[in-house]
Structure formats: structure tokens, C-alpha cells
Structure 1
């Protein structure tokens, strides 16, 4: 396992584009989601695999690598399973419900980032041209959810976890902001 800068070696420096001040609803929601996706990449930029695995504080299993793995799971679940109706296997949580967070000690950071980026692209593809009011093909807890709900939920999910990422990154090397 390499200790090189695992988070950025397979891709260019993350770029965050500020969401537009005025746009239609689909463009606005998509822009905010992409902004938060890029924020997570910025928080992980330049760290070694070991740094990405560093836990926030005992007894928590929260780490930057765990967040990346978790958000890959979330992207896959909401866009592939709920919206598109595909039967998808969990990426990291088949045997351990919190395997995305708990099983990072030997996880391959490069693979995790590649998987996360792939899930983002699959999510974007699943949502292209789909009206916001379109219900997903699978129910969530017996309820239908629309693409609008999924996008708002994903923005909330990333925003919450980016707050965690902020604190973890500051713990690792003192970097704040962004």
C-alpha cells in the first residue's frame, strides 16, 4: 500500500465551481450537489493513505477515507437503486452495516476514490433528463421519493459530512476553510 498522495494521484486537482445565483431548479440543485462533492475532494487533497485513514476521535470510526467510501455507497443507493430501480450490491457494507467506515485500516485509498468518482458519474447519468418530480423506481421505507427529494437529500448528506471532513482535516494537518 502506497503512502503517496492517494486522494489526488489518479485525478487532477479538485475544482469547486460556485453554484449560480440564478438558475432553474434542476441546474441549481445539480450545481449545489457538485459543489459539495468537490468540497469533499478538496478536504482530502494531498493526504497520504495513512492520513486518510486517521480516525477523528475514539471511539468513533469516522475518517476521511470512510467518508469517501460512505458517500460512494450513498450515491449508489439513491441513484442506482432507488431512482433507477437497479438491484445493486453494497460496495462496503454487506457483512458489516458500517463497513464503509469500520473497514478502512487496510482499504485501498486509490480504489475508494476511483469507486466514489465512478458512482458520481453513474449518478449524474441516472439523473440526466429526468424531471425532478419523477418518483424513483424503488420505495424507501415504503414511500416513493422523487428525484427532487434525492437531490436535496444528497446535498444535505454531503454538507453534513463535509463538516465532519473539515474537523478531521484540521486534526490531521491544521488545514481549515474551503
Structure 2
């Protein structure tokens, strides 16, 4: 068993009074910190622990998925940057979640941190009303704005943090925030 453990996290709290951008950023940061917190103090093996059959969901997979989602929505979509895929989605459309056997948890957590920092920098000067187009699978496209991305990312983290709660409880009984 490896002795590496995910670092402890000081969770920030969302603002109670703020303008819209600060409120959205605050809630997003709270949920980012929550995922980090759910991984804190765990070994590499524990981060690879699967939830419960038939699901293959793991905390490590969630960390990798959220790094990719940060990149995709903030940098590629909203900021319009051309960046390569982080994982081989031709081999497996859920490679970020599934391909963890040889994944390095320290590298995955560092990648998440780097993607969060890069995402924040990429949209820092864009107004919430900034729009972009998203291609759909049916060949059409939708106009979206940065505000939608923030709301979606808060939802994405909140949903997956619920998964993380259950996985963490299975690993060592830790529950709650």
C-alpha cells in the first residue's frame, strides 16, 4: 500500500452577500473545495476504491472527470481555446472516469488544480454575458453564455460531490461536509 495521501483542504465558504459574479465564483469554489475535501487524507488505493456494484465510480475518477470538465467548459467552450483532449475518448467515452488502474492520484489532483487555475484565468476578463456556440450531436448548435457555464459547473460539482459523499463513507465511514 502506498503511503501517499491526498492533502488536507481548508474549505472556503460561499459569500452570503455579493454581486452575481462573486456569488457564482464563491459557490463554484465551495464545491471545488468539497471534492478536494472528500479526497483528503486518503491513500492512492482508497482513491481508486469503487463505489458499489455495478458502478465503477471512484474518487480518483471524479477528480479526473472534473479536471476535464473544467477544461472543456471554461477554456475550450467559453474562452474558445483549442486544447487537446485529456483522455483517449475514442477508446472509451468515459475514459476520465474508467481508466484509473494506472492513473497517478498525485498527478490527477495536480491536474485538477492546474485546470481550475487555468479555467479561472481563461474567463477572468469575460463578462457573464459573453456568448459562444456549442455544437450539438445532431449537427445543430446552441448559443450559450458564461453565466450558464458557471451554473452548470456548480451543478456538475454538486451532483458529483453527492457521489463523493457516498464513496467516502464506503471507504472509511466519514460523512458530511
Verify same fold: TM over 0.5: yes
Structure 2 distance, partners of 1:38, 1:23, is 19
Where has structure 1 moved over 4 Å in runs of 4 or more? Answer: none
With normalisation by structure 2, the TM-score equals: 0.93
Residues 112-144 of structure 1: per-residue CA shift (max 9 Å, x gap): 0011100000110011121101013x4242112
Q: Aligned residue for 1:61?
A: 56
Residues 142-169 of structure 1: per-residue CA shift (max 9 Å, x gap): 1121110000000000000000000000
Residues 93-129 of structure 1: per-residue CA shift (max 9 Å, x gap): 4321111111111111011001110000011001112
- The Cα RMSD (Å) is 1.2
Structure 2 distance, partners of 1:48, 1:92, is 23
Looking at secondary structure, tell me which structure has more strand per residue. Answer: 2
Measured after TM superposition, the shift of residue 91 of structure 1 is 0.9
Instruction: Please state whether the residue corresponding to 2:24 is helix, strand or coil.
Output: helix
Q: Aligned residue for 1:134?
A: 130
Structure 1, unmatched stretches of 5+, are none
Q: Aligned residue for 2:4?
A: 5
With normalisation by structure 1, the TM-score equals: 0.92
Structure 2 distance, partners of 1:146, 1:140, is 14
Structure 2, unmatched stretches of 5+, are none
Structure 2 distance, partners of 1:129, 1:86, is 14
Does 1:40 find its partner at 2:35? yes
Q: Aligned residue for 2:73?
A: 78
Does 1:147 find its partner at 2:146? yes
Structure 1 distance, partners of 2:143, 2:3, is 44
